[in-house]
Chain A
C-alpha cells in the first residue's frame, strides 16, 4: 500500500471519526444525564438526513439544511421526551424500550413520506471539489467534516467546562436527582438534553449525507450501530469518551475495510470484544448499572 493511499485512508478514517463524534456525542450526552440509551438515535440521524434532503430541494441551500435539520430534530426531541419518556421517569430499562418503539415509528414514516429508494445529497458548492494533497487529490468536503468535528468538539468542551449549562450537565451526569433537590427544574433540563441529543443526531445526518448517502437502513448502519460501538468502546456518558471512541473506531473501521474488505467489521468486533473483556465500562466511561 503506497504512502499516498495510507495518507488518504488516514484522512478518510479521521473524517469518519469526526462524523462518528458528532453522531455519538448526542447518544453519550443523553445517557450521561438521563441514564437512557436512546435507541431512536439512529432514527433521529436518519430523519436529519431526510429533512435536509427536502430543505435542500426547497431552498437549494445545504447550509440552511444544516441549520434546519437539527432544529427539526430538536423539536421532535421536545415532543418525545415530555410526552413519552417522562411518564417512565425512573424506569430506565422501560424508557429504552420506549425509544425502540419511537424508532420503529419514525423509520417507517420516513419510508412512507420520502419513499424507500436510495437518495443522495451533494456537498454544497464550494466544498464539493478536491484539493491536491501529498501526491493525490482529496475531497474538500471530507476535510470540512474533519474541521467541523474538531470545532464542535472544542465548542462542546468549552461549554462543558466553562459555562453554567456545562456545569449543570456535569452535575446532572453525576447525579440528576440531586439537581432536582437543589431546585433545578429537571423536567426542562431533561427535555432540553434529549432535544440536544436529537439535534446532534440530526446534524450528523446532514453532514454525513454527502458522504454516506441517504437510504433505508441508515438508521442502523451506520447510525445506531456505530454510535453504540463508539460509546461502548470510548465510554458512555462522557465527552472524552465519545472523542476517544470516535478517534479509535473511525480509523479502525476505515483501515479495516481497506485491509480486510469483506470481513472488515470483524476488526470492529475484535476491538469491542477486547474492550469489553478488559474494561467493561469502556475506555473512559462511567457506567451506572441501572435497571
Chain B
C-alpha cells in the first residue's frame, strides 16, 4: 500500500475512533461501549509505553504502574492543591512527576538486565505503591484520592462522558504516533541494538546506559499521562493504580498482544479489556474469575504463542501467502 494511501487510512481510522460516541449513539445509548473503549484506550497508552521497554529495549519491567499511579496522583493532587483544573497544568504535573520518578528509579535499575532487572523494578515499584498506600496525608492512603478535578481547557469542560472519551482517544492517537515515531527512528533502532547485543553497541560507541535510561524515562512519562487520564475518567486515584496488579496487567497486555510491535499493545488491550469487562457479564454472577481467566490466557500465550496475537497473525498470513 502506498504511503499516502496508508496515511489516509490511518487518518480516517483516527477520526472514526475519536468521534465514536457521536456516531455510535444511535445503536448504543447506555454508553457502556464508550466507557469500555475509553478504558481500553487508556490501557493501550499504558501498554504502548511499556512496550518501548519490554518490546524494543529488552528491559522487562514489572514496575511500570508506579509511573501510572504517580501520574494519576500528581494530576489529582495538582488539581486540588493548585486549585486549578486546567489540563495543561494537571497533565503537565503528571508528566513531570512521572518523568522525575522514572529518572530516580531508572538510575537505580538501568545497569541490570533480564530477570534481575525485572525483580528490581517490581520491588521498587511496590515500594512506591506502599508509600502511596500509607501516606494518607498526601495520597489519601488506603482510601485513595477522591474528588480529582474535572479537566478543563480554558472554558471547555472535559468531564462529560463523551468529551472525556474524546480527550482520551486524542491522547491515544498522539501517544501511538509518538511511539511509532520513536520506533522507526535511529533512536528506536539503537534501542533494538541494545536489546540484541549491548556489548556490541558499546563497542560501536553507543552509551547504552544513557540510552536505556532515556527509554525508561520516556516510557515512564507516557505511563504517567495514561495514569492522569485514568484519574480524570474516574475522578479517583487508588494506590492499586501503582500496584503490582496494574504492572502485571500492562505486561500481560503487551505480551499477549505482541511485544515490539505497534499493533501488539493495542490488540492486547482490546483482548484484556474484553476479558476483564465483557466476560464477567457472560458468566454467572457468582463466578468472579476473570483474573484467573486472564492468567490462563497469559499462560497459554507464554507457552504456545510467545510472539502474541500479532505474531500469530503474522505466521498465519505468511502461511496463507506461501500456499
The yes or no verdict on A and B being binding partners is yes
Q: Which residues of A contact B (CB under 8 A)?
A: 35, 37, 39, 84, 87-88, 92-94, 96-98, 100-105, 107-109, 111-112, 220-221, 224-225, 228-229, 232, 262-266, 268-269, 272-273, 276-277, 280, 287, 289-291
Contact B287 A112 (CB under 8 A): yes
Q: How far is the CB of A221 from chain B (nearest CB, A)?
A: 7
Among B118, B137, B291, B296, contact of A93 (Cβ-Cβ < 8 Å): B118
B279 contact set on A, CB distance < 8 A: none
Q: How far is the CB of B308 from chain A (nearest CB, A)?
A: 12
Contact A100 B298 (CB under 8 A): yes
Contact A87 B112 (CB under 8 A): no
Among B115, B122, B298, contact of A104 (Cβ-Cβ < 8 Å): B298
Contact A265 B134 (CB under 8 A): yes
- Given the interface contacts A98-B302, A100-B251, does A108 sit within 8 Å of B126 by beta carbon? no
- How far apart sit A84 and B298, CA to CA, in the bound complex (Å)? 12
A272 contact set on B, CB distance < 8 A: 123-124, 127
- Scoring A92, A105, A228, A229 by chain B CB atoms within 10 A of each residue's CB, the highest score goes to A105
Q: Which residues of B contact A (CB under 8 A)?
A: 60, 62, 108-109, 111-116, 118-120, 122-124, 126-127, 130-131, 134-137, 141, 243-245, 248, 251-252, 255, 287-292, 294-296, 298-299, 302-303, 306
- Scoring B112, B245, B294, B303 by chain A CB atoms within 10 A of each residue's CB, the highest score goes to B303
Q: How far is the CB of B318 from chain A (nearest CB, A)?
A: 23
A88 contact set on B, CB distance < 8 A: 302-303
Among B112, B130, B306, contact of A265 (Cβ-Cβ < 8 Å): B130
Q: Which residue of A lies closest to B137 (CB)?
A: A262
Q: Which residue of B lies closest to A43 (CB)?
A: B295
Contact A263 B113 (CB under 8 A): no
Among A108, A263, A268, A269, contact of B291 (Cβ-Cβ < 8 Å): A108
Contact A276 B108 (CB under 8 A): yes
A100 contact set on B, CB distance < 8 A: 62, 248, 251-252, 295, 298
Contact A220 B243 (CB under 8 A): yes
Q: How far is the CB of A95 from chain B (nearest CB, A)?
A: 9
- Given the interface contacts A276-B120, A287-B116, does A105 sit within 8 Å of B295 by beta carbon? yes
Q: How far is the CB of B51 from chain A (nearest CB, A)?
A: 15
B299 contact set on A, CB distance < 8 A: 84, 98, 101-102, 105
A101 contact set on B, CB distance < 8 A: 252, 295-296, 298-299, 302
Contact A93 B127 (CB under 8 A): no
- How far apart sit A262 and B239, CA to CA, in the bound complex (Å)? 14
Contact A96 B116 (CB under 8 A): no
A224 contact set on B, CB distance < 8 A: 122, 126, 244
Q: How far is the CB of A91 from chain B (nearest CB, A)?
A: 9
Interface of A is mostly: helix
- How far apart sit A268 and B127, CA to CA, in the bound complex (Å)? 8
Contact B134 A228 (CB under 8 A): no
**Contacts beyond the supplied A104-B295, A228-B126: 14 A-B pairs with Cβ under 8 Å:** A39-B62, A93-B115, A101-B252, A104-B291, A108-B291, A108-B295, A109-B289, A221-B126, A224-B126, A229-B123, A232-B119, A262-B135, A263-B131, A272-B127
Q: How far is the CB of A220 from chain B (nearest CB, A)?
A: 5
- How far apart sit A224 and B127, CA to CA, in the bound complex (Å)? 12
- How far apart sit A96 and B116, CA to CA, in the bound complex (Å)? 11
- Scoring B120, B244, B289, B302 by chain A CB atoms within 10 A of each residue's CB, the highest score goes to B302
A98 contact set on B, CB distance < 8 A: 299, 302-303
Contact A221 B108 (CB under 8 A): no
Q: Which residue of A lies closest to B244 (CB)?
A: A220
A105 contact set on B, CB distance < 8 A: 291-292, 295-296, 299
Q: Which residue of B lies closest to A268 (CB)?
A: B127
Q: Which 7 A-B pairs have the closest CB atoms?
A: A104-B295, A101-B299, A108-B292, A105-B295, A108-B291, A265-B130, A101-B298
- Given the interface contacts A96-B118, A272-B124, A289-B114, does A262 sit within 8 Å of B130 by beta carbon? no
A94 contact set on B, CB distance < 8 A: 302, 306
- How far apart sit A112 and B293, CA to CA, in the bound complex (Å)? 12
Q: How far is the CB of B245 from chain A (nearest CB, A)?
A: 8
A93 contact set on B, CB distance < 8 A: 60, 114-115, 118
Contact B134 A262 (CB under 8 A): yes
- How far apart sit A108 and B135, CA to CA, in the bound complex (Å)? 28
- How far apart sit A103 and B302, CA to CA, in the bound complex (Å)? 14
